[in-house]
Structure 1
Amino acid sequence: MAEVSPITRQITKETQEVGALAVDFRLEDVEDCLIYDRHGVGVPFKKLYEDRKAVLIFVRNFLCYSCKEYVDDLSKIPRKLLQDANISLVVIGQSAHRHIEPFCSLTGYPHEIYVDPERCIYQKLGMKREERYTDSAHPSPHVKSGILIGQMKSIWRAMTSPAFDFQGDLHQQGGAIIAGPGSTVHFCHFDMNRLDHMPINWLLQLAGVQQTLDFDDKPKIIHV
């Protein structure tokens, strides 16, 4: 009999603490969903976290300016920092696999990346569709563009892309999960809107990284 994962709790940015029960899912329900690499090769989702702890970042569509700027900062995380903590960092999008290579070239993202073009995992885990804003929400510290300028950038990228499509469902929101080894879920956060990203340093610290990165310019490690 498969081991049942513990109940997952959502951590909000407002408290930075384990809050009220928000979602209750088992990774066993999605472990065999196929995700695809930049070459279109499918692998089961469980491959990402079965052997070691993984920080899994689900993004909206690859044209979204806020996702692009969030991944810009994810790309600044040194490989050695992750290796020393024995964790992996994985971005998961919902476009066709052909969009992975251009997105990585645009952001400089060097770590693992896959796509879930049918949104199988997004849907089964209950990630939100549509956007919801609240007065208490804190905008992502990793998004530098305002909404108007950001949307103009997204439209321009769509118009100049060799394959004109939206590179994913425009209404689908993302999230972050820390899982593994095995099907244990340590943390999850499902985004309420395009700016509701978990700060990267919080995610890294929750995953066991002891250093803090400064994302203002080049990533400088601050020992704490």
Structure 2
Amino acid sequence: MAAHAPHAVAGPRLPALLLTPAATPPSLRRARCPRGYLVNQRRRMRHLLPAAAAAKPGAIGSAAEAAEAPAEGLARSLQGVEVFDLSGKAVPVVELWRDRKAVVAFARHFGCVLCRKRADLLAAKQDAMEAAGVSLVLIGPGTVEQAKAFSDQTKFKGEVYADPDYSSYRALEFANGLFSTFTPSAGLKIIQLYREGYRQDWELSFEKNTRTKGGWYQGGLLVAGPGINNISYIHKDKEAGDDPEMEDVLKACCS
């Protein structure tokens, strides 16, 4: 299946793209030049949300981490965590791979420009996954309505679930904090994505659920199943836009 054409949404320019409104300082909102993001982030770092700056940056995941961390421990941390499908039905997250093998991607939030690129990267490999009997799943921190909008806009053909309380993100100890969000490489990647035609969806980004949560959690990806303890690969984004290597993902799920 080929990656879909990026969905363009009108909105503010690049400097604030990593932020939700509650976390965006006025000086960054007003900046117009993409290069200003890279300059302003360092100048403003010490002034932004001291609590967020003190947040634990989180573990950096890799293929090796799944081998080092007991799968039972990862699955145990997810016990009791529920996500919601597009009909609003609650689904225990471990049920997503109990009876099948699945690639489960975790987005930063449903309006994130970086996450739309990742959805395309995964969609481009979905035919190979399906040929190997592997399901493609995406979980985003937000409401069911946000998840529906993401699904409609991106034409992502995998399953989409909402995690309005960030429960799975906390359970998996994904990176969280100011210094995993504002990085030079993330800013450069956003500029490149805008040149490719991708856009942040600001209507989704300004939804209350996303706005009040702050937007500090990063995402990740795991390959799991069949069996809730069978987690063969996990990638935890060390910073915004830290995509896993698709070759590693395919090797873990389809070899």
1:92 equivalent in alignment to 2:139: yes
Equivalent residue in structure 2 for 1:101, among 130, 133, 148: 148
Query: 1:78-134: CA deviations, max 9, x gaps?
Result: 44x32321211110100101011221122110111111111111101111112438x
Unaligned regions of 5+ residues in structure 1, if any? 1-8, 12-16, 210-224
Could you say what secondary structure the match of 1:177 adopts?
Answer: strand
1:144 and 1:30 map into 2 onto residues whose CA distance is: 31
- 1:158 aligned onto 2:219: no
Matched, 1:180 2:225: yes
User: Relative contact order: is structure 1 or structure 2 higher (C-alpha 8 Å, sep ≥ 6)?
Assistant: 2
CA contact (8 A) 2:129 2:253 kept: no
Match among 194, 203, 208 for residue 249 of structure 2: 203
Q: Answer yes or no: is the 8 Å Cα contact 1:58–1:93 preserved in 2.
A: yes
Output one character per residue of 1:11-38: Cα deviation in whole Å (capped at 9) or x when no partner.
Answer: 2xxxxx6369875633023133111011
CA distance in 2, matches of 1:138, 1:84: 34
Match of 2:16 in 1: none
Letter in 1 for 2:170: Q
Distance across 2 between alignment mates of 1:120 and 1:127: 11
Residues 201 and 42 (structure 1), Cα distance of their counterparts in 2 relative to 1, 3 Å cut: same
Aligned to 1:117: 164
Q: Counterparts of 1:64 and 1:201 in 2: how far apart (Å)?
A: 23
Deviation for aligned residue 1:138 = 8.0
Q: Which position in structure 1 is the counterpart of 2:3?
A: none
Counterparts of 2:168 and 2:69, CA distance in 1:
14
Query: Does the 8 A contact of 1:56 with 1:89 survive in 2?
Result: yes
Please point out which of 73, 76, 80 is paired with 2:124: 76
CA contact (8 A) 1:63 1:158 kept: yes
Higher strand share: 1
Which protein has the bigger helix share? 2
TM-score w.r.t. the length of structure 1 is 0.70
C-alpha contact 2:102 2:225 (8 A) present in aligned 1: yes
